[in-house]
């Protein structure tokens, strides 16, 4: 595993150390890794959302939505 030194303000350092002290994480490195994983998950979710928006825009002109036909189709497909 690689090592990285990061400079942070004292209040942030205290916050990270408290997360380890209160048992939320076993040490500061675990907490930072947790934050990075959350950021990676968020970035993936944003990319997926952006791709869905782009797909929608590129799919062409919007069509009228018929809620009754949609409900009927869902009932036929999934029972109900």
Residue 52 in domain? yes
Classify residue 49 as exposed, middle or buried by CB count within 10 Å of its CB (0-12, 13-18, 19+).
exposed
Q: How many domains does the chain have?
A: 1
Residue 66 in domain? no
Cα-based distances in Å from 72 to 62, 69, 79: 21, 5, 10
Confidence of residue 80 (pLDDT cuts 50, 70, 90): low
**Average pLDDT of the chain, as a whole number:** 95
Q: What is the pTM of this model?
A: 0.70
Cα dihedral: 55, 58, 61, 66 (round 10) = -10
Residue 4 in domain? no
What local confidence, expressed as pLDDT, does residue 79 receive? 84
Confidence of residue 78 (pLDDT cuts 50, 70, 90): very high
Mean pLDDT of 60-80: 92
Domain residue limits at 22: 10-58
CA 27 to chain centre: 24
Mean pLDDT of 2-6: 93
């Amino acid at each position: 595993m690689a090592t990285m030194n990061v400079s942070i303000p004292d209040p942030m350092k205290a916050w990270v150390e408290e997360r380890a002290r209160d048992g939320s994480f076993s040490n500061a490195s675990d907490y930072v890794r947790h934050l990075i994983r959350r950021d990676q998950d968020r970035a993936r979710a944003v990319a997926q959302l952006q791709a869905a928006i782009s797909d929608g825009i590129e799919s062409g002109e919007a069509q009228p939505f018929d809620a009754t036909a949609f409900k009927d189709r869902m009932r036929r497909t999934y029972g109900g």
